[in-house]
Chains A and B, each alone.
Chain A
């Protein structure tokens, strides 16, 4: 079985984001970038399915600037067999919308014919939580979002999903799109020998033009501002003082 795993290069999750004072976006120059944490989980799951003999080939795909090569090398070091970079823009500030990403992925799915796409449930930069669902919709495939457990058997995936109020188990016919939630697995660290080996694995660069997808944004970002700051709070010395403040000052008790 062939698995396609889309991975996104995003600002590292530990970085405190700085909003540009002119409202034009967030500062991405000289900021540490990494693979989106949910995509690491998706990649780890694909590698584990290969380890179990269920997957035969794993293809990592990233769409964006040429710098995304770095995270594709990480994906290869984690265990992907080959990688495709869709060179779609030169501007790191241009965040390609989920609809355009889904359209590009749909093209690659037509070409590569995977049996399964495992994506992260959302990217921590645009917080959209949409690409996997959009891809499934475009392909007319079944979908299993927010997966915390995946079992593949007889042309189906039995997926445990994290939903409000608990868990839901569904059975989805393959091919399908599954999106990985936080608790699906613990992604492995890449070892130095694997990083060296990854350098020899194939990384195809695919120009956007070859895929005939219009990526012009449907949403125009008018401005990006900092959220309103909360005023600094006050120390209270005791439980009694806390209760008093909540009752008489804040009026929430």
Chain B
């Protein structure tokens, strides 16, 4: 039986990188993968999803109640489709973490969060304890509900043929919650979760003004900007830049940690990066234990020099 993959749509745009990565994560199942688009305006996203390699069919539900990722109407719709599928999956983003557990409860099955490996149709790996342990679990549920940690998978390519798009109806509005507003951080930089290079700053950066030097370095490298919890709490950077157990999990080709000591909770969000560079004045900082390249020194002289020389 086929697999259902939930795709996120923001302002009519498909979160295609996350969908492409989830498609490759699900490929070991060897089943047809149907992509579900839930949005008020989803036609363009559906057309884009249909062109991704490995997509069997796109289901397009367009309705005002599905516009802002509200859990109640979305979960009701997914649950209504569930019996046709053995697996229901989604990239593990804030969007799906809100919806998937509710879907699982409606189906009386467990949710399996942050899957990093699909061993077979019932067996999955997932990190626990802030990434300090990896569990292999076997599910006895009839439908497997999976959140995919997309950072550890490469995305599939665009295919040559477009899969068919079928329009489906939304469920009646349960009327439990309503959207009020989005307070969106507008950014021209690459998306943190999918960037090839991430430059992150921590407490050591010292101030909001000095965090601009981190941003300048990131911009010079074409990188996304990240931050430790300390930097966010101190107001140097916005919340949605936070990398770690409670923020985003990233695994770029290059992660540059500047003025970040390397608490367990931060490492949980970046230790699968291919190459880690740590720049810190404290040579005993725990970040140096996982860094491939360590530069001990004053970041206020190092960062401008690095920015200038790149």
The chain A residues found within 8 Å of chain B, CB to CB, are 11, 13, 16-17, 19, 26, 97-99, 102, 121-122, 124-138, 140-146, 148, 158, 160-173, 176, 181-183, 218-227, 230, 232-236, 238-240, 242-243, 245-246, 250, 252-253
User: How far apart are A44's CB and chain B's nearest CB, in angstroms?
Assistant: 16
Q: How would you classify the secondary structure of chain B's contact residues: helix, strand, loop or mixed?
A: mixed
Instruction: Verify B290–A145 contact, CB threshold 8 A.
Output: no
Beyond the given A166-B185, A233-B276, could you list 19 further A-B residue pairs with CB under 8 A, ordered by the A residue number? A99-B105, A121-B246, A124-B129, A127-B114, A128-B113, A137-B101, A143-B71, A146-B97, A164-B248, A165-B240, A169-B179, A182-B246, A218-B140, A220-B140, A221-B135, A233-B278, A239-B306, A242-B306, A253-B310
Which residues of B lie under 8 Å from residue A143 when comparing CB positions? 71-72, 98, 102, 176-177
Please name the residue on chain B nearest to A252 by beta carbon. Answer: B254
In the complex, the answer to whether A127 meets B138 with C-beta atoms within 8 Å is no
Task: Across the interface, name the chain B residue whose C-beta is closest to A162.
Answer: B239
Residues of chain B within 8 A of A223, CB atoms compared: 135-136
Q: Do A26 and B133 form a contact, CB below 8 Å, given A233-B291, A235-B294, A240-B309?
A: yes
Minimum Cβ distance to chain B for residue A162 (Å): 6
Point out the residue from A11, A99, A227 that lies within 8 Å of B104, measured CB to CB: A99
**CB atoms of A145 and B97 under 8 A apart:** yes
Q: Can you list 14 residue pairs at the A/B interface with Cβ under 8 Å?
A: A26-B128, A126-B128, A133-B102, A145-B98, A146-B94, A146-B98, A165-B10, A183-B239, A218-B141, A224-B133, A225-B136, A233-B276, A235-B296, A242-B295
A143 to B176, CA, bound (A): 8
Does B180 have its Cβ within 8 Å of any Cβ on chain A?
yes
The yes or no answer to B251 lying at the interface (CB within 8 A) is: no
Which residues of the partner chain A approach B10 to less than 8 Å between Cβ atoms?
165
Contact between chains at A166 and B183 (CB < 8 Å) = yes
Q: Which residue of B lies closest to A219 (CB)?
A: B137
Which of A170, A224, A230 makes the CB contact (< 8 A) with B177?
A170
Also in contact, A16 and B136, with CB within 8 A (given A218-B141, A236-B293, A239-B305) = no
Q: Are A168 and B68 in contact, with the CB atoms below 8 A?
A: yes
Q: CB-defined interface of B177-201 with A at 8 Å, one 1/0 digit per residue?
A: 1111111110000000100010000
Residues of A within 8 A of B44 (CB): none
Most B Cβ at <10 Å: residue of A127, A169, A227, A234: A127
Query: For chain A, what secondary structure do more than half of its interface residues adopt (helix, strand, loop), or is it mixed?
Result: mixed
- Judge whether B84 is part of the interface by a CB distance below 8 angstroms: no
B102, B111, B129, B131: the one within 8 Å of A125 (CB) = B129
Q: Which residues of A contact B295 (CB under 8 A)?
A: 235-236, 238-239, 242
Of all chain A residues, the one with the shortest Cβ separation from B268 is A127
**Is the C-beta of B243 less than 8 angstroms from some C-beta in chain A?**
no
- Distance in angstroms from A47 CB to nearest chain B CB is 21
Q: Is the CB of A164 within 8 A of B93?
A: yes
Interface membership of B90, Cβ < 8 A: no
Output the nearest chain B residue to A10 by Cβ-Cβ distance: B129
A134 touches B105 (CB 8 A): yes
**A173-B177 CB under 8 A given contacts A146-B94, A148-B239:** yes
Measured between beta carbons, the chain B residues less than 8 angstroms from A121 are: 246
Say yes or no: A165 contacts B184, CB within 8 Å: yes
Within 8 A of A (CB), among B71-122: 71-72, 75, 93-95, 97-106, 108-114
B111 touches A98 (CB 8 A): yes
Q: Which of B104, B253, B278, B306 contacts A252 (CB 8 A)?
A: B253
A124:B110 contact, CB within 8 angstroms: no
Q: How far is the CA of A128 from the CA of B232 in the complex (A)?
A: 23
Closest Cβ of chain A to B244, distance in Å, is: 10
